[in-house]
Every structure is written in C-alpha cells, then in structure tokens.
Amino acid sequence: MSSDGEIVSSARKPTEYLFSEEGHVQFDVDRLYALTVGVIRELAHALPEGHTVAGLSMASASGNTVLLDDRGVPGPAISWMDQRVTHEIETVFGSLQAEEIHDRMGWPLLNQFPLAHLSWLKCHRPGMLESATRVCMSTDYLNFRLTGNWGIDYSTATTFYLLDQKAGQWHLPYLQQLGIARGKLPQLQPSGTILGKLTTAAASATGLPPGTPVVLGAFDHACAARGSGVLDEGQFLLSTGTSWVGFFPVKDRQKAVRQQMLVDPFLSPDGAWGAMFSLPAIANHVEKYIYQFVSTAPDPYHAFDRLAGLAPPGANGLLIHPMREPDAALADHDSRADISRAIMEGTAYLLKAQIDKFDRAGLKITSVTMAGGPSESLTWPQVIADMLNLEVSTMSGAHAGARGAAILAGIGVGLYRDEREVRRRLGAPKATYTPNQAAHKVYQAGYRKFTEHATMKPYRGDES
C-alpha cells in the first residue's frame, strides 16, 4: 500500500498443512517463513520505479503453537485447527471456571489454541516442553526470522490464552502450572511498535534493503477494522471469509464478555475494545450448495452472483438455511436463480439473528462496512443492506486485513499519527448500498418464516 492509501500490488500463497488420522493439524514453520518472504519478494518486485518500502507489518489469525529446542530449531507448528486435545487442560489446571477464563483472557476457553496445545505437550511430551528455549506462536517466529528480535502485540497475544488482557501482562499462574518461565515468551508491546529491522539474511530473502523496519501488527479482524475505518462504537464490520466475522468497537468490555463474544484489545486503553462473533465456516456450507445446485465451473461464484441478481427479493418464496444439509430435491422445484438468491438471503438471515441478539443486549449498530470476497459481489451487499435496513459500505475487498497491517506499519514508522488520522487522510475506495424499503418489507416477513421453519430442508413460503 502506498502512503496515500493506494493498493499498489497484491500476492498470495496457500499455507501447506500436514493432517493425521488422529486429528493432528501441523505445518512446517520454516516453510511458512519461506512462503512469506516469497510473497514479500513478489510484492517488492512490483514496486513502481524509484519507490521503496517504508515498513512491514503482519495481520495474522495466529493461535499456532511453536517450540524452539535448545539449538533454536523450531518443531512443527501446531495449528489452531488441531483436534488432538481432549482432557489435558483439566489434567494440568484442574477445573477452570469458564467465566473467569473469558473475563481474563477475552476469549471463551477452547481446546484449539496454545493453552490447550501446551497442556497436551505437558501431558504427553513433557521433555519437549521442559527443554524448549522459546515458546511462541507462528506470527512471533516469522517476525523473529525477519528481525532477530522476539516480540508480540497484545492483540495477537490474546490467541495465546496466556495473556491477562485487562492487566496487559502474561498470566503467571498459568505459566507456573505449565512450567514455562516468562523469559521464554515474546515481549509484549502495543500494535504499531517497531519490533526491529530486517536482518541481512531477511533482506536478501525478501529483496528489500537491510534495515527496513518491521512493525508489530494485530489479529486479522482487528487489522481489517483498521483497514476499513471501523473505529467507533456504533460502527460494524462484517468480514466475510471462510467464517463470517462481525466486529463491533465497544467502550464497555464487560458488555461483550457477558454476550460470550471474543474480545480484542483493539484501540484500548485510550479507545474502543473490539467485540467479535462469527458464523463459523459459513463459506464452506455456501460453497457446497453452489457446487450442488448452481455451478461446477472453476469460478462458480461468478455464476452464483449473476444468477442471484436475476431473482427478486424473497427468491419467490424459497428459504434456505445454508448451515443445514442440502436437499437433493431442491433442483426439481426451483430455478438456479432462486436457489442462488435464497442462499445469499439465508446467510443474511443468520447474520440478522446474531445482530438482533446483540442489539437487545445494548450493542447497537448504526452503519455496516463489509469486507472480504463477498463484498465484491454485485448482489450480496445489497441483500445485507435491505435485510438490516442499514446503509452498507464496501471497502478494500479481500485486502482489508492486509490494508490494516500496512496502516500499522505506517503508524510505526511515523507516516501517520494514529488510525483516526489515517481515516481522515486516506479513507478507502468504497461503494455504498442504500436499503430498499420494499425489499426490507419482504425480508421482514421472510425473517419471521425463516426463524419458524429453519429445518433441515429448504422451505417454500407457499407451504402450509
């Protein structure tokens, strides 16, 4: 991203995972580093002549556990998708109180993140845990390879489940139970802090000059909020990836905790916290419907979007719950256009159900910003606007998280004072979708039927 906010180039590489029948999901963290510097090198080659990189930063989901041995060599990273953990947290810590965990750490306790992985290692590979010279996550390791320095921002550290989010410190009782010395963890610092500068080796690998600053980033959805200009209470970011994640800036952290939402430090202590919920893996369910009923082309989303735009609001009475198993008979009764539209609308109904719940709890929204692949659709943002009866803006498409990381890099190296200055100065390319009141009335009626008839099979509005 240029200093005036233009996306100059983009590149991507898929992460390579290793799966086992026991539910283990791991990856080679040095291979991930090679893929990462390959992407950076590709971007560096695309720089306009005479331009240089002012700084680098990373948006990351993280939650992947990495141990370095006594030679400083990393073992396989345990992915946040790993399913090996069963009872090990209880074995190490006894009966933990879910409410206390959520209040302290910001996230509900899950068996899929580093606290769980480290508990499993203590139970099944105690020697590996005891002899480790460094306990970190994949994000921290990549930054270390780039700079030679260890550090982690408070946002990314939340996924560790070892950070007391309110105190802003590693939670020593958990470290003691695991037998991990605090010095083995990365140093905690705010997002936007310069961690270090590219080493000679990293400069050679990336194609950038030695000494290029590397700045601590944030959790991916917190970066996407920055990249989309969603900074204030009342704004709502809908980040549409594999899972659809809703992000609310909130002043009252406890309100989000009470609603069992994920909490990110975001702009605290001076600004809002970030509260999140998700429609987990919704894109996988949508894709299953698309391939079965809409298109099997290499890019089926193009046909899906085009067909959905041909059907009227309400899809001629067809309701589809996209998280339910498809009914093979659906194609016998409904057109591909109606099916496409009903898939979009069903996803929007699920989103509305979540937003209505939080609205009743006092988490009210006045504007919606949509990011991610579906935000580039010609139809889906309008469906969301009509469904919620709110104006929907689309920003940055699939690049909102990366744009937010670039903004943090700019803050770190002094190009911008803070995120609000970025929003005032740069804005972002956007389209705006205004709700259609006639369509909204259709969706009000459809929503009532959807909540009544959200069963395993599609429901037609003309059925008794």
Question: Block means of pLDDT (10 residues each) for the chain, length 464 residues?
Answer: 91 91 94 97 92 95 94 95 94 90 92 95 96 97 98 97 95 96 97 98 96 97 93 94 92 94 95 94 92 90 94 95 86 91 96 94 93 89 97 83 96 96 82 96 95 62 45
Please say whether the dihedral angle defined by the alpha carbons of residues 112, 116, 118 and 123, taken in this order, is positive or negative: negative
Question: What residues have CB less than 8 Å from 111, skipping those under 6 apart?
Answer: 83, 85, 86, 89
Please say whether the dihedral angle defined by the alpha carbons of residues 295, 300, 303 and 305, taken in this order, is positive or negative: positive
Looking at the DSSP bridge assignments, the partners of residue 153 are 189
Fold topology of 18-211 = Nucleotidyltransferase; domain 5 (3.30.420)
Backbone angles phi, psi at 238, to 5 degrees: -105, 110
Q: Cβ atoms within 10 A of the Cβ of 179, count?
A: 12
- pLDDT value of position 463: 45
Residue type, 286: V
Question: What residues have CB less than 8 Å from 6, skipping those under 6 apart?
Answer: none
For domain 229-464, the CATH architecture is 2-Layer Sandwich (3.30)
CA distance 127 to 134: 14
H or E element, residue 29: helix 29-45
Instruction: Reply yes or no: is the peptide bond before residue 269 cis, omega within 30 of 0.
Output: yes
- pLDDT value of position 454: 57
- pLDDT value of position 11: 93
Helix axes 29-45, 138-147, angle to 10 degrees: 60
- pLDDT value of position 396: 63
- pLDDT value of position 299: 84
**Same fold? 18-211, 229-464:** yes
Q: Are 191 and 216 in contact (CB under 8 A)?
A: yes
Q: What angle (nearest 5°) sits at the alpha carbon of residue 420, between those of residues 196 and 169?
A: 50
- Of the candidates 240, 239, 241, 237, the one whose C-alpha atom is nearest the C-alpha of residue 250 is 237
Looking at the DSSP bridge assignments, the partners of residue 151 are 187
- Where exactly are the structural domains of the chain? 18-211, 229-464
Q: How many residues does the chain have?
A: 464
